[in-house]
Amino acid sequence: MLPKLWKDSLSGSLWTASQRVRPTYKEVRTSVAKRVAENPIITPEMVKPSEPNLEVIGAFNPGATRYGDEIILLLRVAERPILDDPELVGVPVLNLNGSSSERLEILTFPRHSPLTDLSDPRAVTYEGRVYLSSISHLRLARSRDGVHFTVDEQPTLFPETKYEEYGIEDCRITQIEGVFYISYTAVSRYGICVGIARTEDFKSFTRLGLILHHENKNVTLFPRKVNGLYAAMHRTAASAFNGPNMWIAYSPDLLHWGDHQFLMAPRIHHWDSRRIGAGAPPVETPEGWLIVYHGVNAKDGYCAGVALLDLDEPHKVLSRSHEPLIAPSEDYEVSGFFERVVFPTGLVPMDDGRWMVYYGVADRSVAVAETTMDELLAVAKGEPALMGAGR
């Protein structure tokens, strides 16, 4: 079996037996936001493998933003090796051996050995060491209407350092003073870290380095400084005392972070009772910072919800949705590489007043739902009379 820490880190879905509490809240609607008919809008079949010996098994959890007249997505593209021998299982890792020109190294292990554990589809454990069953990179996709996307044929950001040995994942994009900052999860034998990169044109990218402590993820930057400092939400790993909680931290330069303050925790008997994490970057409104975040419960799986934070002291939660904004119900949300997942990572405004919620589904594809700011605020404040009918 996988070590408990790694089980918790892989995508935040596996908990110890003592935490598997069935929720008692009422049935939730499948969505307040309106899913587009074209969903899923990006699937693995639309993405060209980065190497001929790899297959794309996931294109999901995209960072999202507007750049000029385009909607930009940075997809997490997960690839696994194609092997001719069915008795072997392959693990792709970044090649850290400078003597080889190959970007990746494919490790192989005997599939039916008692030393090989394949009980979790996201991981391969051999002789007690845990590897990911796929390796992820970030890939650019562009659209004029926010629904129909063209995916680049080559990776945009590919693993490069020893801290990215097992891949880079689940980025968020925040524009601050004309520069687009990309926060992403870096995975390696050393644990789960958070990296940050910047671009001004989505052609050239500069890695700035790792931020925050290891065993942290779901970092989203605020789009402006708060009280003279950069601000970010982050999600710590579970401890013996509680589940994964959301925190806020501040920085003078985006690299050195401190003044960590607790933000939110899972709520027992709610749709977000088992774990939570930041989703899309915050949006500033007259009523507060609006955030779309993910929450997990034992019945519905991963859902998207909304909260409002104080503008001047964003560690203060003004309100938090009683129901999800989107809960998994469609086939593409319920079935896939990992079941029952709605994982929001982008919230983008359109010229006609719509807001597009981009989210990964079932650890496989990308979907989008339409809503309005009035609807988002109503959900955040728990005002069902103002919400949509649920679609």
- Specify the higher pLDDT residue, 387 or 85: 85
Residue 64, token pair as written in the block: 């999202």
Question: pTM value?
Answer: 0.91
User: Using omega within 30 degrees of 0 as the cis cutoff, is the peptide bond preceding 155 cis?
Assistant: no
Boundaries of domain holding 40? 11-386
* Residue 125 identity (one-letter amino acid): T
Mean pLDDT value of segment 79-84: 98
At 77 the three-state DSSP class reads: strand
pLDDT band at 26 (very low <50, low <70, confident <90, very high): very low
Of the candidates 166, 204, 197, the residue with the CA atom closest to the CA atom of residue 63: 197
pLDDT score, position 236: 86
Asked if residue 13 has pLDDT above 60, the reply is no
Strands (DSSP E) contained in 212-313 are 216-221, 230-236, 246-251, 258-264, 275-278, 283-285, 288-297, 301-309
Asked if residue 384 has pLDDT above 60, the reply is no
Of the candidates 184, 277, 281, 273, the residue with the CA atom closest to the CA atom of residue 237: 277
Q: Does residue 363 sit within a domain? A: yes
Asked if residue 104 has pLDDT above 80, the reply is yes
Q: Does residue 113 sit within a domain? A: yes
Distance CA 102, CA 100 (A): 6
Q: Does residue 6 sit within a domain? A: no
pLDDT score, position 98: 66
Of the candidates 211, 281, 278, 218, the residue with the CA atom closest to the CA atom of residue 66: 281
Share of the chain above pLDDT 90, in %: 83
Q: Does residue 391 sit within a domain? A: no
- Specify the higher pLDDT residue, 21 or 245: 245
pLDDT digits 0-9 by tens, 175-223: 999 999 999 999 999 999 999 999 999 999 999 999 987 788 999 999 9
Q: Does residue 138 sit within a domain? A: yes
Report the CATH number at residue 152: 2.115.10.20
Query: How many Cα atoms sit within 13 Å of 368 on the Cβ side?
Result: 27
User: Cα–Cα distances in Å, from 332 out to 81, 138, 251?
Assistant: 24, 21, 39
The sign of the torsion formed by the CA atoms of 179, 305, 167, 190 equals: positive
Q: Does residue 3 sit within a domain? A: no
Q: Does residue 357 sit within a domain? A: yes
pLDDT band at 115 (very low <50, low <70, confident <90, very high): very high
Beta pairing partners, 125? 117, 130
The number of domains in the chain is 1
Distance CA 191, CA 2 (A): 14
pLDDT digits 0-9 by tens, 346-375: 999 999 999 999 999 999 999 999 999 999
User: Cα–Cα distances in Å, from 60 out to 190, 245, 348?
Assistant: 24, 23, 16
pLDDT digits 0-9 by tens, 132-187: 999 999 999 999 999 999 999 999 999 999 999 999 999 999 999 999 999 999 99
Residue 180, Ramachandran bin (φ over 0: left; ψ between -120 and 50: alpha; else beta): beta
Contact 195, 219 (CB under 8 A): no
Asked if residue 379 has pLDDT above 50, the reply is yes
Asked if residue 86 has pLDDT above 90, the reply is yes
Asked if residue 232 has pLDDT above 60, the reply is yes
Of the candidates 200, 208, 123, the residue with the CA atom closest to the CA atom of residue 166: 123
pLDDT band at 22 (very low <50, low <70, confident <90, very high): very low
Q: Comparing 1-10, 107-116, 267-276, 312-321, which segment has the lowest mean pLDDT?
A: 1-10
Asked if residue 18 has pLDDT above 50, the reply is no
pLDDT score, position 43: 99
Q: Does residue 140 sit within a domain? A: yes
Phi then psi dihedrals of residue 333, to 5 deg: -95, -30
Asked if residue 274 has pLDDT above 50, the reply is yes
Asked if residue 276 has pLDDT above 60, the reply is yes
Share of the chain above pLDDT 70, in %: 90
Tell me the average pLDDT of the chain. Answer: 90
Asked if residue 319 has pLDDT above 60, the reply is yes
